Chains A and B, each alone.
Chain A
Amino acid sequence: MSEKTEIQVDEKMVREIASLARLDLSQDEIEIFVAQFKDILDYVSILDEVDTESVPPAYLFSANKSVIREDEIEPSVPTDEFIANAPQSKDDSVVIPRVHIEQ
């Protein structure tokens, strides 16, 4: 857990996370997040007290085992209903802006 003590919560770090999270944060938001990140990460560091050396992670705790159902063909949703929520569509396809970014 030693790496946690080295965490530098600053504008640069918050900007990097925002970029990974695909959020175009304003300067105001970034400044608020820097302060709140520090508080919250400081608070959750209470977990360092707990010895988990030989404890397995919980992940899935339900009594269920992995379930695989029969591969039976069922009617699916008509394409027009599926596509009705798309912001922009053409010939049963979803339209997006171009992907390539000019350098």
Chain B
Amino acid sequence: MELHELSIQQAHELLSRREISSEELTRAFLARIQRLDPRVKSYVTVSDELALEQARAADQRIRAGESVTPLTGIPYSAKDSLSTRGVRTTCSSKILENYKPFYDCTAIKKLKSTNSVLLGKTNMDEFGMGSSTENSGFFTTHNPWNFDYVPGGSSGGSAASVAAGLAPFSLGEDTGGSVRMPAAFCGVTGLKTTYGRVSRYGLLPLVSSFDTIGPMARSVYDVALVLEAIAGHDPKDSTSRGEMPQLYSESLKKTEDLRGLRIGIPREYFVEGLDSEVDAALQTAIKRIEAFGAEAVEVSLPHTPYAIPVYYLILFAEASSNLAKYDGVRFGLSERNVDNLLELYLKTREKGFGAETKRRIMLGTFALSAGYYDAYYLKAQKVRTLIRQDFQQAFENCDALITPVAPTTAFRIGEKITNPLDMYLSDVHVVAVNLAGIPSLSVPCGISNGLPIGMQIMGPHLSEEMLLRIGHMYQSETDWHTKHPPCWND
């Protein structure tokens, strides 16, 4: 078995028995990135020197017999919206092309404290604005299953790096499907965490009330290992949840069936526009889950058709506020050939932001401007309440919900980029979760024309343990998550 094929669990066992070193493992990934990533284009920055330093520190720790966790010495990639001390953090935007944070975000800090090895930072749609990584200010990431197709977005680089064997796991970030959708398109497992389950401190914000950091890996078990390491309360993020994270991986080992669980199938998620092969894959997957003793029941989330307009209106508004800080004064791009401060703002922002970012800043500024606030932003926040109530009511009748992650498999590069509204509509199955702040797991459940299909399992706030159990049971008797793209052996 090649080193890039190891799961976190397998690599951990070999490291513990000192059959391999973290430096060896890290060098294997760095060499593979150098060889294969020019075609996949999942990384914006490869932090090779730092990675080798971290790997050697991990090896020392293992040799010294110090407390070792399942992630000690394991390499990983992180979406480029997570601050990394001394490592360029760009959000795939030209306005932050040379920005090096002086601190780590809490999730990265936690991985550092257990001597995980950061390989580099992954490509994304600029500031998370997109569903394909085509809105990256630098380049488009390719889907490892077929280089002519998008990897999904916005954490497309993270998903592609895991699918192509360029990292055993990645930290992604999900504002409106940005972990789940690329996970589905690239055939990996991804978890959108409960809002507040993982600290947002040091995450460059897109929509502060939607943003969540979550793991992406090649199995539910590996996702559980990463979640254990990054979850928990953080005094530096007042919205982080105080409840202690569970030992998710331990609970998976004990799971034998899903008896007693009621799985809701929301009828509004299986409607016109859903690809027939995606639909068929989901029906088969639901039957599998029923075979473990769970009971499937039809439920309704009646306000589903309003999720996309609500999501985008709130996103436009909050993003336009969050992006006001990029003004060329304290960090980032700065157009200095100007006569006064106002010109500095105007020229820096015009040059630094891409088309989609400008479009959303414009729409948000409009939605928040005098005279329109009630009609757009306030109205959207009210309908958001109704969408949350839909989920609360559904969870009175069932424990979890199962739906597709996306209505289709990955689309072709270039297919939707000229029509922003068409691109927004590809998020139809994922955004409501962020409006409600609930967790949701994306698990591979089929392949159509050589491209992966994803199943979404949603649950109430802080139900990660249950979602992982359902996903793990499913993966214990299916092999979709073990299938690899053609470039796997390159």
- Within residues 294 to 331 of chain B, which ones have a CB less than 8 A from any CB in chain A? 303, 305-306, 309-310, 312-313, 320, 324, 327-331
Q: Which residues of A contact B242 (CB under 8 A)?
A: 64
A85 touches B376 (CB 8 A): no
Q: Which residues of A contact B388 (CB under 8 A)?
A: 58, 61
- Give the bracket for the number of chain A residues in contact with chain B: 35 or more
Q: How far is the CA of A44 from the CA of B111 in the complex (A)?
A: 41
Give the residue among A20, A25, A40, A84 with the most B Cβ atoms within 10 A: A40
B306 touches A47 (CB 8 A): yes
A64 touches B341 (CB 8 A): no
Which of B140-148, B245-253, B273-281, B357-365 lies on the face that meets chain A?
B357-365
Is B139 an interface residue when CB atoms closer than 8 A count as contact?
Answer: no
B365 touches A64 (CB 8 A): no
Q: How far is the CA of A97 from the CA of B336 in the complex (A)?
A: 8
Is B384 an interface residue when CB atoms closer than 8 A count as contact?
Answer: yes
Q: Which residues of A contact B100 (CB under 8 A)?
A: 84-85
Q: Chain A nearest CB: distance from B83 CB in Å? A: 12
Give the residue among A18, A37, A43, A47 with the most B Cβ atoms within 10 A: A47
A22 touches B306 (CB 8 A): no
Question: Closest chain A residue to B305 by CB distance?
Answer: A46
Q: Chain A nearest CB: distance from B237 CB in Å? A: 9
- Within residues 19 to 33 of chain A, which ones have a CB less than 8 A from any CB in chain B? 20-26, 29, 33
Q: Which residues of A contact B363 (CB under 8 A)?
A: 37, 40
Is B444 an interface residue when CB atoms closer than 8 A count as contact?
Answer: no
Is B381 an interface residue when CB atoms closer than 8 A count as contact?
Answer: yes
- Within residues 331 to 349 of chain B, which ones have a CB less than 8 A from any CB in chain A? 331-332, 334, 336, 338-347, 349
Q: Chain B nearest CB: distance from A51 CB in Å? A: 9
Given contacts A87-B336, A97-B344, contact A21 B383 (CB under 8 A): no
Per CB-CB distance, the 10 closest pairs between chain A and chain B, nearest first, are A87-B334, A57-B381, A85-B331, A24-B346, A52-B382, A58-B384, A44-B309, A24-B350, A21-B365, A81-B102
B362 touches A33 (CB 8 A): yes
Is A73 an interface residue when CB atoms closer than 8 A count as contact?
Answer: no
Q: Chain B nearest CB: distance from A9 CB in Å? A: 9
- Give the bracket for the number of chain B residues in contact with chain A: 35 or more
Is B482 an interface residue when CB atoms closer than 8 A count as contact?
Answer: no
Q: A40-B363, A67-B238 are in contact. List 12 more A-B contacts (CB 8 A).
A: A3-B372, A22-B345, A37-B366, A47-B310, A47-B383, A55-B382, A55-B386, A58-B384, A81-B102, A87-B334, A96-B341, A97-B343
* Chain A 40-66 interface 0/1 with B at a Cβ cutoff of 8 Å (1 = within): 100110110010100111111111101
Question: Closest chain B residue to A9 by CB distance?
Answer: B366
Given contacts A22-B327, A47-B380, contact A62 B99 (CB under 8 A): no
B328 touches A52 (CB 8 A): no
Q: Which residues of B contact A67 (CB under 8 A)?
A: 238
Q: How far is the CA of A66 from the CA of B238 in the complex (A)?
A: 8
Q: Which residues of A contact B372 (CB under 8 A)?
A: 3-4, 7
Q: Chain A nearest CB: distance from B221 CB in Å? A: 28
A44 touches B313 (CB 8 A): yes
A50 touches B386 (CB 8 A): yes
- Within residues 49 to 103 of chain A, which ones have a CB less than 8 A from any CB in chain B? 50, 52, 55-64, 66-67, 69, 77, 81-82, 84-88, 94, 96-101
Question: Closest chain B residue to A29 by CB distance?
Answer: B358
